[in-house]
Amino acid sequence: MPKHAPTPFRRRKSTRAALAAGVVAALGAGVLFTQANASSGDTQPRTARNATTPATAEPTPPAKAGLTTAAKPTAPAKAKPTTAPKPTATRRATTAPKATTAPKATAPAGPTTAKVTPPTANAPFDYQIGSPYSPPKDVKVVSRDRTAKPAAGLYNICYVNAFQTQPDALDWWEKNQPDLLLRDGSGTPVQDEDWGEALLDTSTAGKRDRLAKIVGGWIDGCAKSGFQAVEPDNLDSYERSGDRLTKQHNAAFARLLAQRAHAAGLAIGQKNTTELLPERRTIGFDFAVAEECGQYEECEAYAAAYANRVYVIEYTGTGYSRACSGWGGRLSVVQRDLDVSAPGGSYRYRAC
Average pLDDT of the residues of the chain: 79
Residues 218-261 pLDDT 10s: 999 999 999 999 999 999 999 999 999 999 999 999 999 999 99
The residues near 175 (Cβ < 8 Å, ≥ 6 apart) are 84
The pLDDT score that the predictor gives to residue 65 is 35
pLDDT category, 58, cuts 50, 70, 90?
low
Of 23-27, 72-76, 312-316, the range with the lowest mean pLDDT is 72-76
Cβ neighbours for 350, distance < 8 A, ≥ 6 positions apart: 320, 334, 335
Higher model confidence: residue 176 or residue 30? 176
Instruction: Note the pLDDT of residue 345.
Output: 87
| pLDDT of 18 above 60 | no
Q: Which of 25-29, 192-196, 251-255 has the highest mean pLDDT?
A: 251-255
Query: How does residue 270 score in pLDDT terms, banded at 50, 70 and 90?
Result: very high
| pLDDT per residue as tens digits for the range 296-320 | 999 999 999 999 999 999 999 999 9
pLDDT for position 113: 59
Residue 55 has pLDDT above 60, yes or no: no
The pLDDT of residue 76 is: 43
The pLDDT of residue 8 is 40
